[in-house]
Structure 1
Amino acid sequence: MSVSNLSVSQQRAVIDLFRRIAPIADELGELFAAHGHELAVVGGSVRDVFLGRIGNDLDLTTDARPERVLEIVKGWADSIWTIGIDFGTVGLRKNNWVLEITTYRSESYDPKSRKPEVIYGETLEADLERRDFAINAMAVRLPKHEFVDPYGGLTDLAAKVLRTPGTPEQSFDDDPLRMLRAARFASQLGFTVEPSVVAAMTAMADRIEIVSAERIRDELDKLICGEHPREGLALLSDTGLAAHVLPELPKLRLEIDEHHRHKDVYEHTLIVLEQAIALEAAGPDRVLRWAALLHDIGKPKTRRFEDAGRVSFHHHEVVGAQMTKKRLTELRFPKDVVADVSRLVELHLRFHGYGTGEWTDSAVRRYVRDAGHLVERLHKLTRADCTTRNKRKAEALSRTYDDLEQRIARLADEEELAKMRPELDGNEIQEVLGVGPGPIIGSAYKFLLEMRLDQGIVGKEAARQALTLWSKSQNLPPAP
């Protein structure tokens, strides 16, 4: 199909693409042609053109084998990397462009293997057939700018539908991760998934077990950071995939939350996630979003039926934090992400002890100290966790949290609250106690920190006097 066969708006999109990437694409296409090989812009790079999203990354495909690609681009590219060469991909940089060139291929999984077997192909059309969805199975040949769309990807883009080029069963059997990609694209693009694809995902959900934790993590992370995570998460739950990759999520569907204001904790969780997203200041905050998604996963394990028909979930935040740490660790998330998300889950109920402002300044200081660098995220998570339909109650909670934030700001201005350190440092503590480094210095530091939390800034002299009295209670020898 030539560009002239497209609609006027589609022609403009393709023309705009090549206006931006020329002379890079044409130059590279002519280089490959001179060496007797084909080259085409492919996949997401073409899809995003029609969605009005053009970045500085390009995906390309060729009939040349990886070793041949290296020979062709040597001397042309500014830099080259081969981290993906085992899977047929050569990466390179030219000016401000990052290009990935992948040999025509088809890949499939052995039923007992976690790693795909890469088989090189011979034609562009065959390569497009093995791609995950029709919207990613479009290409533009270089250097002639011939548009190739054998599986109706452009039609699916207009309809906002996800459909596989071939049968979904064959596609998911070749690479089970594509089932998670369907949910990820539903989140990122807001597209619906064609019913036969949903049916195949449901029937083949257990096939996802052979995929590595790292690949699953990457798809889940992209899903939750998409514009429509509810759609992606619902698809995972409805098809049974969540039971294999994030089992805590569907389990929430069976639990009624303690306020009896929502159908179940599952629905409450999705609302909290959406409300947390609405509070983001600058783009997706993965830590906040994961904390919102997992904040109540401890409820199923802690549910108790009380008198008068009440339901309680005592200490679900503690249990939930432990479960969060276990799940994110198993998914191979970085340690700092695991720690931060788990800590937010643990702290998400702390505000409810504030009542109508009964906390002392000491309690406010402890709240900030315990949250540490997560305090702003904790503010957002706590606000997002209010999903009551009672407008008066919601407004009261909002005002109360406004009051807490104002108190935190006031104390921060007065006391440099964010630093939250004792008024004496380690050297000064040693001087007062008349001892060298050792365990007693750590104990003294904790004592002074607790004093700072309880009393605020009292001055160095008062801190020294208090430390001297404390040392006597510890039966320490007096300072010389």
Structure 2
Amino acid sequence: MNPHDSALKLARKLSQAGHLALFAGGCVRDRLLGVEPKDYDIATSATPQEVLRLFPGSNEVGAHFGVVIVRHHGHATEIATFRTDGSYKDGRRPESVEFSTPEEDAARRDFTINALFENPETGEIIDHVGGLADLQTRTLRTVGNPEDRFQEDALRLLRAVRFATRLGFTLEPATWAAIQQFAPSLQRISVERIRDEFSRILTGPHRALGIELLTRSGLIDIFLPELRDLIGCDQPPQWHPEGDVYTHTRIMLDMLDDEAPLALVLAVLLHDIAKPPTRTVDPDGRIRFNGHDALGATMAENILRRLKYPNSLIDDVAFMVSRHMQFMHVQDMRTAKLKRFMATPTFIQELELHRVDCASSNGFTDNYDFLVSKRGEFDNSPTLPTPLLNGRDLIARGLSPSPTFREILDDALTEQLEGRFPSRDSALAWLDNRLNPQVP
């Protein structure tokens, strides 16, 4: 059973029990935009207690705010009682709620396009706030006074940017002005909620526009102020005719596929984050950014830890930032080093970062084309084969783990990757000669 049919059955059961039940919010918006919703929300006149009696065993976590999560045929449907919210003293959540009517429920929602209802049986759209007109003109507008909506919950500032960019909508002027005015209030919001909205902006279409809106509004200053330093940080024009580091980064973001993974997008966003603090100018006027890759990896790690991203993602992003300048040397690498370079779990994402890095600036594709060719060549054999020598071989010859121990194994793998060991016997012969050199 698909999510729509599952939610329809729940709505019917509510209706048969004498309650008004309507599809609400994002699922209505998406269906009108021709997008199949991934999940459905139901707004109803039934109280949480009445919902729980109809659907025993449901999740009561949100019952205080009139919300119950009902699981049906593998789908989780949020069933919320029509309500009005009390005051938002902390700028994050209402102090209280009162159960109300569809009209009052629509009036307390964030944006008009998210305040539409649909009759599940007839498909009739119920619009109390002008959301249909805004859908037709592709306009993002708050319900009622934008200043009130953003003061109620400052996370709506980021949600506005997310909806505008993901849907390709234009921010209504009064709504945009209020976002700029209330940007500092985002400081009230937990870093986890900010991170989640930011990630949604980065992993959707028009992510470069999202960064532009975050920057122009001042929202970026609250959680990623380092990004503003990229603006006006000029670069050598012969290598970067596109302009400053900020422009370069925006173009790169635009060039990524809409489905690019979050780690790659963050690596692109932060790959040149250390150019401002490393920028120097030679006496002849040449601009340099020596060490910006190494410092950038440290800065990226610090930024992502501050935003409480998972450790595995932080490690991947910092690693990609640390290596992005090495791609200019790949054609000079020995086979063994190149194979190791290409064997990392993040290499495919790094290759895409390199592609958009060059395409957004000098347009050179030599190194990219070389690596694509080598991938095809190495596909016929493991990039990093099982080592022919291992620690047991060294221990059997009387060695103990030490820096020398590791050095011998690394050298052995290099010889193997270079094709100098046709067999394990030849590898063992090399080891014996390494430990006891034969004097001619």
**d(CA) in 2 for partners of 1:96 and 1:389?**
48
- Indicate the larger mover: 98-107 or 36-45: 98-107
**d(CA) in 1 for partners of 2:49 and 2:435?**
72
Q: Give the root-mean-square deviation of aligned CA atoms.
A: 2.7
Tell me the secondary structure at the aligned position of residue 346 of structure 2: helix
Deviation string, structure 1 residues 25-53 (Cα, Å, up to 9, x no partner): 55433432444433211000100111111
Deviation string, structure 1 residues 45-74 (Cα, Å, up to 9, x no partner): 100111111235111122333333222222
Q: How does 1:146-157 map to 2 (within 5 A)?
A: 146-157=124-135
* Cα separation, partners in 2 of 1:352 and 1:96, compared to 1, 3 Å: same
**Aligned counterpart, 2:317:** 341
Q: Is the 8 A contact 2:388 2:416 kept in 1?
A: no
Q: Is the 8 A contact 2:139 2:171 kept in 1?
A: yes
Tell me the secondary structure at the aligned position of residue 345 of structure 1: helix
Give the drift of 1:296.
0.9
Deviation string, structure 1 residues 392-417 (Cα, Å, up to 9, x no partner): xx2xx313321233234434534x21
Q: Residue 423 of structure 1 is aligned with which of 360, 364, 388?
A: 388
* Cα separation, partners in 2 of 1:425 and 1:115, compared to 1, 3 Å: farther
Q: Is the 8 A contact 1:448 1:463 kept in 2?
A: no
**d(CA) in 2 for partners of 1:47 and 1:39?**
17
Deviation string, structure 1 residues 411-436 (Cα, Å, up to 9, x no partner): 4534x21x3553223433433x246x
Deviation string, structure 1 residues 338-370 (Cα, Å, up to 9, x no partner): 11111111111111123xx3322133124224x
**Aligned counterpart, 2:89:** 110
Q: How does 1:133-282 map to 2 (within 5 A)?
A: 133-141=111-119, 146-258=124-236, 259-277=239-257
Matched to 2:270, the amino acid is L
Tell me the secondary structure at the aligned position of residue 61 of structure 1: strand
Q: Residue 341 of structure 2 is aligned with which of 367, 379, 387?
A: 367
* Cα separation, partners in 2 of 1:114 and 1:28, compared to 1, 3 Å: closer
**d(CA) in 1 for partners of 2:148 and 2:210?**
22
Work out the number of aligned pairs and report it.
430
Q: Residue 21 of structure 2 is aligned with which of 32, 36, 39?
A: 39
Q: Percent sequence identity over matched residues?
A: 34
Query: Normalising by structure 1, what TM-score?
Result: 0.82
Q: Is the 8 A contact 1:133 1:162 kept in 2?
A: yes
**d(CA) in 2 for partners of 1:406 and 1:271?**
26
Q: Residue 11 of structure 2 is aligned with which of 3, 23, 29?
A: 29
Matched to 2:261, the amino acid is D
Matched to 1:334, the amino acid is P
Q: Is the 8 A contact 2:3 2:75 kept in 1?
A: no
Give the drift of 1:147.
2.7
Q: Is the 8 A contact 2:26 2:114 kept in 1?
A: yes
**Aligned counterpart, 1:328:** 304
Q: Residue 73 of structure 2 is aligned with which of 95, 104, 108?
A: 95
**Aligned counterpart, 1:399:** 366
Give the drift of 1:20.
8.8
Matched to 2:80, the amino acid is T
**Aligned counterpart, 2:409:** 448
| Ranges in structure 1 where 5+ consecutive residues have no aligned partner | 1-18, 474-480
Tell me the secondary structure at the aligned position of residue 413 of structure 1: coil
**Aligned counterpart, 1:310:** 286
Matched to 2:357, the amino acid is D
Matched to 1:177, the amino acid is L
**d(CA) in 1 for partners of 2:235 and 2:341?**
25
Q: Is the 8 A contact 1:256 1:262 kept in 2?
A: no
**d(CA) in 1 for partners of 2:309 and 2:202?**
14
- Indicate the larger mover: 200-209 or 445-454: 445-454
**d(CA) in 2 for partners of 1:347 and 1:338?**
14
**d(CA) in 2 for partners of 1:423 and 1:118?**
68
**Aligned counterpart, 2:401:** 439
**Aligned counterpart, 1:16:** none
Tell me the secondary structure at the aligned position of residue 263 of structure 2: helix
Matched to 2:145, the amino acid is T
**Aligned counterpart, 1:8:** none
Tell me the secondary structure at the aligned position of residue 204 of structure 1: helix
Q: Residue 351 of structure 1 is aligned with which of 307, 324, 327?
A: 327
**d(CA) in 2 for partners of 1:132 and 1:119?**
16
Q: Residue 295 of structure 1 is aligned with which of 271, 289, 299?
A: 271
**d(CA) in 1 for partners of 2:377 and 2:87?**
60
**Aligned counterpart, 1:381:** 353
**d(CA) in 2 for partners of 1:20 and 1:223?**
25
Matched to 1:377, the amino acid is Q
Q: Residue 61 of structure 1 is aligned with which of 43, 52, 55?
A: 43
